[in-house]
Every structure is written in structure tokens, then in C-alpha cells.
């Protein structure tokens, strides 16, 4: 069973955007493994809570990820 797991910042995607991820990931895995895999493909879109993201030892917020905050740089 193919499995894809996407982790996204909580509140950053609409339900429709999550659905697009599910459909496109399923299409991709069916393309790779063949249509027989489609009914058994699992796609999980997980929302990570505020402060649960870190890149380069820097905790990111949704505001920073969306480009609305300079992250405290001068």
C-alpha cells in the first residue's frame, strides 16, 4: 500500500487545498505503481501546531512562513 505523509503548518491550507494534495499524490502514486495501487493508496495531510516547525535551529511561526514577519531580523 503506497503511503504519502504531508506535514503542513496548522491553518495554512484550506480544506480544498488539502483535497488537491490528496488527489495529486494519489494520481502520482498510481502513475508510478499502476492503477492497481489507487484504491489502496493512503495520503495523510497532518497539521503541525504553531511552534512545531524548525529550520536551521530556528522555530518558525505561521506568520513567518507566510512571509508576514521578518522573524526579528533588523
CA distance between the termini of the chain: 49
Task: Note whether residue 25 is domain-resident.
Answer: yes
Residue with cell 503541525: 48
Render pLDDT for 20-57 as a digit per residue (tens, 0 to 9): 999 999 999 999 999 999 999 999 999 999 888 888 88
Residue with cell 493512503: 42
Task: Note whether residue 39 is domain-resident.
Answer: yes
Range of the domain at 37: 3-49
The CB density around residue 9, as the number of other CB atoms within 10 Å, is 19
CA 34 distance to own-chain centroid: 24
Task: Note whether residue 11 is domain-resident.
Answer: yes
pTM of the model: 0.78
Work out how many domains the chain is built from and give that number: 1
Task: Note whether residue 36 is domain-resident.
Answer: yes
At 38, list the grid cell: 489507487
Task: Note whether residue 21 is domain-resident.
Answer: yes
Amino acid at each position: 500500500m503506497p503511503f504519502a505523509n504531508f506535514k503542513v503548518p496548522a491553518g495554512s491550507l484550506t480544506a480544498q487545498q488539502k483535497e488537491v494534495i490528496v488527489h495529486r499524490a494519489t494520481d502520482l502514486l498510481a502513475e508510478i505503481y499502476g492503477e492497481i495501487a489507487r484504491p489502496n493508496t493512503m495520503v495523510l495531510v497532518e497539521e503541525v501546531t504553531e511552534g512545531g516547525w524548525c529550520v536551521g535551529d530556528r522555530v518558525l511561526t505561521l506568520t513567518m512562513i507566510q512571509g508576514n514577519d521578518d522573524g526579528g531580523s533588523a
